[in-house]
């Protein structure tokens, strides 16, 4: 019963976050809370065969930095639906937030089957083609939103190795709560 109550609460909080108009930018803390709610829902759905680890510098400044809303969750969703597909062992997703040469670096990594460079190129650059494996539109959407807000120097890169997993790296300039988008 507790897991049903927790999942229901996570679902309602996740939907409220998704549909509430809080503007383009939210704190890293709010975005991670949304990711944790999303993960709670999926953790229950996948019979607890998923693990999530989030690491970030311990100074509180990082949690107050502003990032575009719904930047991290689509990558966690991809890791679950594509990275964990067909795995026999437990799926592990790691989110790491760090200083990347004065910017914010956010890695979302999974221990799934990985993908080829050709698949990565298709996801990042080709037209949307709906398929059972996904269209890649979520990844491109996040990348395009980041580049519209901050410029071409920022966005998403994906690295992957077959049978090892995939890492999406998001790079965003550090912005305090009072800063406006550039």
32-51-25 Cα angle (round to 5): 15
pLDDT reported for residue 119? 87
Return d(Cα 100, Cα 57) in angstroms, integer. 12
What is the mean predicted confidence (pLDDT) over 47-52? 82
pLDDT at 182 over 50: no
Return d(Cα 144, Cα 21) in angstroms, integer. 20
Return d(Cα 135, Cα 72) in angstroms, integer. 18
pLDDT at 48 over 90: no
For 66-88, how does the pLDDT look when each residue is reduced to its tens digit (9 = 90+)?
A: 999 999 999 999 898 887 766 77
For 123-169, how does the pLDDT look when each residue is reduced to its tens digit (9 = 90+)?
A: 888 755 554 455 567 888 999 999 999 999 999 999 999 989 999 99
């Amino acid at each position: 019963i507790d897991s049903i109550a927790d999942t229901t609460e996570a679902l309602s909080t996740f939907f409220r976050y998704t549909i509430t108009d809080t503007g383009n930018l939210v704190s890293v803390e709010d975005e991670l809370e949304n990711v944790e709610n999303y993960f709670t829902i999926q953790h229950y759905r996948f019979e607890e065969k998923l693990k999530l680890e989030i690491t970030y510098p311990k100074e509180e400044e990082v949690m107050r930095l502003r990032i575009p809303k719904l930047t991290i969750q689509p990558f966690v969703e991809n890791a679950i639906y594509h990275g964990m597909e067909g795995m026999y062992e437990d799926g592990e997703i790691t989110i790491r937030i760090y200083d990347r040469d004065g910017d914010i670096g956010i890695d979302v990594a999974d221990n799934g089957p990985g993908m080829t460079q050709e698949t990565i190129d298709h996801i990042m650059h080709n037209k949307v083609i709906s398929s059972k494996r996904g269209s890649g539109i979520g990844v491109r959407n996040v990348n395009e939103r980041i580049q519209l807000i901050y410029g071409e120097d920022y966005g998403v890169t994906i690295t992957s190795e077959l049978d090892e997993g995939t890492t999406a790296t998001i790079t965003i300039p550090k912005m305090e709560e009072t800063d406006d988008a550039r």
